[in-house]
């Protein structure tokens, strides 16, 4: 009998919820955030949308990656596999302990109802953006970890890294 993996979302957003501008992060790199991302996703497969895959600074896992696209015959690099939907990607991960959803905006919106955990970095500034992290019902999650970094502490901005865990186990996944 197949078990279901923990579905984790991982993202960084500004105070105004921006996550991207012109297919890139709207801020300069934040080493503390990258360190956290590498730590929590190590050894886990990743799911991303096509636009996130097309980003020249894309993130990927050495153990496997899924690119969600409706484009037929879309070609991906070695280590990546195309999935026609989030549900298809989730089905291919049934034997994983945990899988990470990396975005972008539409993929986050679709994945939120299934999220068991959310690793969310908040950059305490407003940035121009053309993609945004969706508003979600925070009352169905507990914050189980919180890390604060001040400008100069391995980050050019004040940031907070929050880890949310779903309170109820009757989520759609």
Please check whether residue 172 lies inside any domain of the structure.
Answer: no
Q: Is residue 12 part of a domain?
A: yes
Query: Is it the case that residue 173 has pLDDT exceeding 90?
Result: no
57-69 pLDDT tens trace: 789 999 999 999 9
Question: Over pLDDT 70: what percentage of the chain?
Answer: 96
Please state the rounded mean pLDDT for residues 81-88.
Answer: 96
Residues 104-147 have pLDDT tens digits of 999 999 999 999 999 999 999 999 999 999 999 999 999 999 99
**Looking at the domain assignment, is residue 63 inside a domain?**
yes
Residue 20 in any domain: the answer is yes
- Number of structural domains, the chain? 1
Residue 139 in any domain: the answer is yes
CATH number of the domain encompassing residue 109:
3.40.430.10
Q: Is residue 171 part of a domain?
A: no
Q: Does any domain span residue 133? A: yes
Between CA 61 and CA 98 the distance in angstroms is 13
- Using CA atoms, how far apart are residues 95 and 84, in angstroms rounded to an integer? 19
Range of the domain at 84: 6-166
Inter-residue contact 104 to 19 (CB < 8 Å): yes
Is there a domain that residue 173 lies in? no
The rounded distance, in Å, linking the Cα atoms of 20 and 99 is 22
CA geometry: angle 34, 40, 43, nearest 5 deg: 110
């Amino acid at each position: 009998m197949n078990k279901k993996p923990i579905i984790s979302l991982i993202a960084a957003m500004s105070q105004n919820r921006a996550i991207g501008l012109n297919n890139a992060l709207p801020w300069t790199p934040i080493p503390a955030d990258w360190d956290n991302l590498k730590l929590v996703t190590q050894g886990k497969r990743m799911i991303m949308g096509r636009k996130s895959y097309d980003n020249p600074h894309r993130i990927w896992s050495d153990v496997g990656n899924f690119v969600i696209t409706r484009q037929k015959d879309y070609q991906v690099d070695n280590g990546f596999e195309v999935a026609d939907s989030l549900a298809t990607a989730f089905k291919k991960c049934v034997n994983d302990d945990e899988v990470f959803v990396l975005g972008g905006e539409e993929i986050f919106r679709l994945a939120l109802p299934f999220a068991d955990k959310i690793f969310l970095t908040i950059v305490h500034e407003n940035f121009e953006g053309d993609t945004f992290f969706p508003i979600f019902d925070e009352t169905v999650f507990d914050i189980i970890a919180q890390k604060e970094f001040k400008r100069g502490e391995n980050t050019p901005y004040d940031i907070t890294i929050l880890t949310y865990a779903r309170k109820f186990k009757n989520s759609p996944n």
